[in-house]
Structure 1
Amino acid sequence: MAHELSTNIDIDAPPTDVWAVLTDFDHYPDWNPFMRIAGRPNEGATLTVHLRPPGGRESTFTPDVVGCETNRELRWLGHLFTPGIFDGEHRFHLEPLDGGERTRFVHAERFTGFLAGLLLRVVGDQTRAGFVEMNEALKARVESAAVDETTGEKATG
């Protein structure tokens, strides 16, 4: 049985701007309170992901990128110990809004494996809180980059 955690936030910037921040893993320490990532967002690549959910324990895992569509979606699949115990397919999806001027950012994970239900009862709320925390930080980071620093006004084209 699969279990899904899904969150979303609307960002006042086009998907290209959101993607640029989302896939710039080297700068995650500057803005992302929930996760750090080492590696490249290329299909077939292996990442090292460190998660720090609010009120939870830090964890590290090495998922494989199973999907990467520039400016649209990044997905990876990770396992606890071995496939089938507790597997998570993490997904970042960027949906253009208002003719591409804005973006709906969907941050979700689909959990499967025989321990999925049990472990999500323990860590599900903290994981969801981490997703929301990251979403809000991503929105702030992307939108602040779209503001002209000299005038304080929204930058144009």
Structure 2
Amino acid sequence: MRKIETQVVIEAAPEQVWAVLTDFARFGEWNPFIREAEGEVRVGARLRLKMFPANGKPMVFKPRVLVAEPGVELRWIGRLFVRGIFDGEHYFRLVEIPGADGPHTRVEHGELFGGLLVRALGKMLDGTNGDFEALNQALRRRVLEPHAAR
């Protein structure tokens, strides 16, 4: 098992962050890591995500949504071939925190990797933290833009 977790605080309510995070049609406008995304944000739905890691080639994943609780959590799981070979459970948890100027949101963004090939493919995961951080900062900028989807 390997875990990568990052965080960012955004000066906006969780519902505002959720609106941007789940507007898949606009990912290409702001998201440096997941530039293409399609699918429904509902439990059991299959997504199509094209990821562009900074230190690698673009990859298409078709994960299944595990949690889609508006303003709280989005979680999906992707698998390489079959369960137990190389599984990645990706998540965004939105935690409202008080701010002097209104609600803020702590975004806990990470992934749990498991399966037989985690050790063997460990080098491939080395740049993932940086990719997540880049997504976090881009998400923050997008949410705070006056014209961002809300």
Give TM-score, length-normalised by structure 2. Answer: 0.92
SS at match of 1:116: coil
List structure 1 segments (4+ residues) > 2 angstroms apart after TM superposition.
Answer: none
Identity of matched residues, %: 41
What do the CA deviations read for 1:60-92 (whole angstroms, capped 9, x no partner)? 111100111110001101101111110000001
1:146 CA drift (Å): 7.6
Q: Give the Cα–Cα distance (whole angstroms) in 2 for the partners of residues 41 and 61 of structure 1.
A: 15
- In the alignment, what sits opposite 1:153? none
Q: How does 1:45-84 map to 2 (within 5 A)?
A: 45-84=45-84
Q: How does 1:69-148 map to 2 (within 5 A)?
A: 69-98=69-98, 101-120=103-122, 122-145=123-146
Q: Give the Cα–Cα distance (whole angstroms) in 2 for the partners of residues 98 and 146 of structure 1.
A: 24
Unpaired runs of at least 5, structure 1? 148-157
**Greater helix fraction, Structure 1 or Structure 2:** 1
RMSD: 1.5
1:145 CA drift (Å): 2.8
Which amino acid is 1:76 matched to?
A: W
Unpaired runs of at least 5, structure 2? none
Q: Give the Cα–Cα distance (whole angstroms) in 2 for the partners of residues 53 and 16 of structure 1.
A: 28
Q: Give the Cα–Cα distance (whole angstroms) in 2 for the partners of residues 74 and 112 of structure 1.
A: 19
- In the alignment, what sits opposite 1:5? 4
Change (3 A) 1:93 1:137: same
1:117 CA drift (Å): 2.2
Which amino acid is 2:105 matched to?
A: T
SS at match of 2:131: helix
What count of residue pairs does the alignment treat as equivalent?
145
Q: Give the Cα–Cα distance (whole angstroms) in 1 for the partners of residues 55 and 114 of structure 2.
A: 24
Q: Give the Cα–Cα distance (whole angstroms) in 1 for the partners of residues 92 and 146 of structure 2.
A: 20
- Which entry has the higher C-alpha Rg, 1 or 2? 1
